[in-house]
Amino acid sequence: MAKTWIKGLGAAAVLGVLVAGGMYLYGSASGDVPPATVDFAKLGPQEFDTLYKRGEQVFRGGDCAACHSSPQTGAELAGGVPMVTPMGTLYGTNISPSKEHGIGNWTADDLYRAVAAGMAPGRKNLYPAMPYASYHQITRADVDALWVWLMKQPAVEVANKPSEMSFPFNIRPAVAMWNVLNRPAAKEFDISMDELVRGKYLVDVLGHCAECHSPRTKATFAMDGSHYLEGNTIEGSYAPALTPDALSERGWTKDDLVKFFRTGVSPQGVMTFRMSSVLEHSTSRMPEADVRAMAAYLTQNREMPGPKVKAAEGQTSVKGENLYLGLCAGCHGAQGQGQPHSSVPMSTNTTAMFPTPINLIRVIREGVHERDLAQGERMQTMPAYADKLSNEEMADLVNYMRQTWGGRPGDVSAAQVAEHVKTIEHSK
Ligand code: HEC
Ligand code: HEC
Ligand code: HEC
């Protein structure tokens, strides 16, 4: 995410020079703040309880901990998650109620402005790595609940790490330019009890799924609304299309999506790469009704046929098949059937179905550490094969898998494998 929008920042910075005196834009777009929905000074115990519970749900649904927890201690609000971009490194900030290092002196209005409009007190424009381009539609009621919950968490006395951005990206007015071009004005979502409407709010606003799953515009690298959730390669992996047609095509059903979001694994596969932290900090901790609402919205409640083992397309590569049988079948099965709770099936796995083989290549190169998923699901180790396979062999193997289980042609060349490896290494 960081990488793509930062290129947009580059385009915006160039424009900023053209609009000589772009400085005047500094801090001009903070948006109007809707009035608080509660009187914080007069909260009864019951009202407080309701707000506190909702606040935690907003925090989980918004996946705030993915970027604001400490990578060292795991403290959820301490900050320090690095976001590496070609223009430098940025860190998630301390959002605990520490008065010195966190947001202990902030009002609920301040929090609304930061989350919905990307503007911190002192008219400080936040970098769009903080996904306010999605949060801009958050309801004021949800921010009020979030504020109540945040202010009751333990203060963490850890200083923020200064961002290490290079010129001109270290000047926040360049960010204001990006905002003027790309950030929709903060405007509350029209929420209702309807499951599909709640699902849309959870997917688009709190879950900010489109930040990874929508392609970006070439001009400013903003999320491209005209290709909403159509898939994007971002930070060295592909976040696949999530439209109802695409989900149906890859064998998803509403119930399997619920299973995937709650446990991290379903017949269609296991969460990997950036999606793992979405599982860890967000979907596995959301109320089941919310996860169902997301699945209802994504599938539009359509009946979908579910996983089906696709027939191989044309002649599959014998070299690829031999590699698979020699290296992989011991865990994933000769027919790709997998082993329950231990290693995932390949026969119904979506990874071989994606238009790009980048995730397949990356998983095979890097392997996956043994890990706990959620709700008691766990996975054993998948070994890494980066040093064991040439680009040629990788192409044979990937082609065999894509043809056998992906319904894709086996046309990936060794040169393309090398390109994908470069993209993966650049993202680190
Ligand atoms: C994808 C990563 C990401 C997610 C998710 C995210 N943030 Fe942020 N947030 C950041 C980054 C990076 C910054 C620092 C931006 C900067 O320095 O301009 C930031 C800044 C902030 C700030 C400003 C702090 C200050 O001292 O100026 C607040 C408040 C904040 N985030 C709250 C939240 C809340 C609440 C959520 C969940 C609803 C959230 N963030 C989700 C990355 C994220
Ligand atoms: C020792 C057992 C083992 C071997 C050998 C093995 N894998 Fe895996 N593989 C796993 C496990 C376990 C996972 C799930 C890991 C996780 O997500 O935590 C996995 C995950 C995967 C995934 C990701 C699936 C998804 O849903 O995202 C792919 C693709 C894959 N393996 C392909 C291969 C290929 C190709 C080979 C041979 C080169 C191979 N594996 C060898 C155990 C193994
Ligand atoms: C930080 C980037 C990021 C965010 C945010 C994100 N995803 Fe993903 N997602 C990915 C990547 C990368 C993959 C591919 C790896 C995998 O399958 O786990 C993926 C995979 C998926 C899949 C599996 C699709 C398939 O066919 O295998 C689903 C479903 C999904 N995401 C839904 C969501 C939803 C819903 C949200 C918002 C709540 C979301 N994602 C937010 C990066 C992201």
| Mean pLDDT calculated for residue range 255-271 | 96
**213 C-alpha to ligand 3 centroid (Å):** 7
| 145 pocket-lining for ligand 3 (C-beta < 6 Å) | no
Of the ranges 32-36, 72-76, 353-357, which is most confident?
A: 353-357
Q: Report whether 298 contacts 387 (CB < 8 A).
A: no
Q: Counting atoms of ligand 3 from 1, which one is nearest the CA of 202?
A: 38
Burial class (CB in 10 A: 0-12, 13-18, 19+), 35: exposed
Lowest mean pLDDT among 202-216, 235-249, 362-376: 362-376
Q: Counting atoms of ligand 2 from 1, which one is nearest the CA of 381?
A: 12
pLDDT of residue 3: 45
**274 C-alpha to ligand 3 centroid (Å):** 8
Q: Report whether 323 contacts 400 (CB < 8 A).
A: yes
Within 10 Å of residue 245's Cβ, how many Cβ atoms? Answer: 11
For the record, the structure tokens of 249 come out as 């095509």
**72 C-alpha to ligand 3 centroid (Å):** 25
| 5 pocket-lining for ligand 1 (C-beta < 6 Å) | no
Lowest mean pLDDT among 36-45, 175-184, 259-268, 389-398: 175-184
Lowest mean pLDDT among 216-220, 236-240, 385-389: 216-220
> Rounded CA gap, 285 and 395, in Å?
38
pLDDT digits (tens, 9 = 90+) for 10-29: 554 444 443 333 333 333 44
* Cα–Cα distances in angstroms (integers) from residue 391 to residues 157, 270, 322, in the given order: 48, 25, 16
| 67 pocket-lining for ligand 1 (C-beta < 6 Å) | yes
| 265 pocket-lining for ligand 3 (C-beta < 6 Å) | no
pLDDT of residue 268: 96
**Residue 79, pLDDT above cutoff 80:** yes
pLDDT band at 308 (very low <50, low <70, confident <90, very high): confident
**Residue 309, pLDDT above cutoff 80:** no
- Among 273, 229, 237, smallest CA distance to 368 is for 273
> Rounded CA gap, 144 and 109, in Å?
9
Distance spanning both ends of the chain, measured CA to CA? 13
Mean per-residue pLDDT of the chain: 89
pLDDT band at 280 (very low <50, low <70, confident <90, very high): very high
| Mean pLDDT calculated for residue range 192-205 | 96
Q: Report whether 213 contacts 232 (CB < 8 A).
A: yes
pLDDT of residue 15: 44
Atom 7 of ligand 1, residue of closest alpha carbon: 130
Burial class (CB in 10 A: 0-12, 13-18, 19+), 185: exposed
What sign has the CA pseudo-torsion 219, 223, 229, 232?
A: positive
Q: Report whether 251 contacts 305 (CB < 8 A).
A: yes
**269 C-alpha to ligand 2 centroid (Å):** 10
pLDDT digits (tens, 9 = 90+) for 346-390: 999 999 999 999 999 999 999 998 888 888 888 889 999 999 999
Q: Report whether 392 contacts 366 (CB < 8 A).
A: no
Q: Give the number of whichever ligand sits closest to the CA of residue 271.
A: 3
Q: Report whether 142 contacts 58 (CB < 8 A).
A: yes
As a whole-number percent, the residues of the chain with pLDDT over 90 amount to 71
> Rounded CA gap, 400 and 321, in Å?
6
| 269 pocket-lining for ligand 2 (C-beta < 6 Å) | yes
| 296 pocket-lining for ligand 3 (C-beta < 6 Å) | no
Q: Give the number of whichever ligand sits closest to the CA of residue 353.
A: 3
pLDDT of residue 311: 64
pLDDT of residue 318: 92
Q: Counting atoms of ligand 3 from 1, which one is nearest the CA of 353?
A: 26
pLDDT of residue 404: 93
Q: Give the number of whichever ligand sits closest to the CA of residue 374.
A: 2
Contacts of 197 by beta carbon, 8 Å cutoff, 6+ apart: 190, 191
| 209 pocket-lining for ligand 3 (C-beta < 6 Å) | yes
| 155 pocket-lining for ligand 2 (C-beta < 6 Å) | no
For the record, the structure tokens of 292 come out as 């169902």
| Mean pLDDT calculated for residue range 125-148 | 95
| 209 pocket-lining for ligand 1 (C-beta < 6 Å) | no
pLDDT digits (tens, 9 = 90+) for 400-424: 999 999 999 899 999 999 999 999 9
Lowest mean pLDDT among 26-35, 189-198, 261-270, 337-346: 26-35
| Mean pLDDT calculated for residue range 267-290 | 95
Lowest mean pLDDT among 36-50, 201-215, 343-357, 372-386: 372-386
| 272 pocket-lining for ligand 3 (C-beta < 6 Å) | yes
**Residue 286, pLDDT above cutoff 90:** yes
For the record, the structure tokens of 334 come out as 């000769």
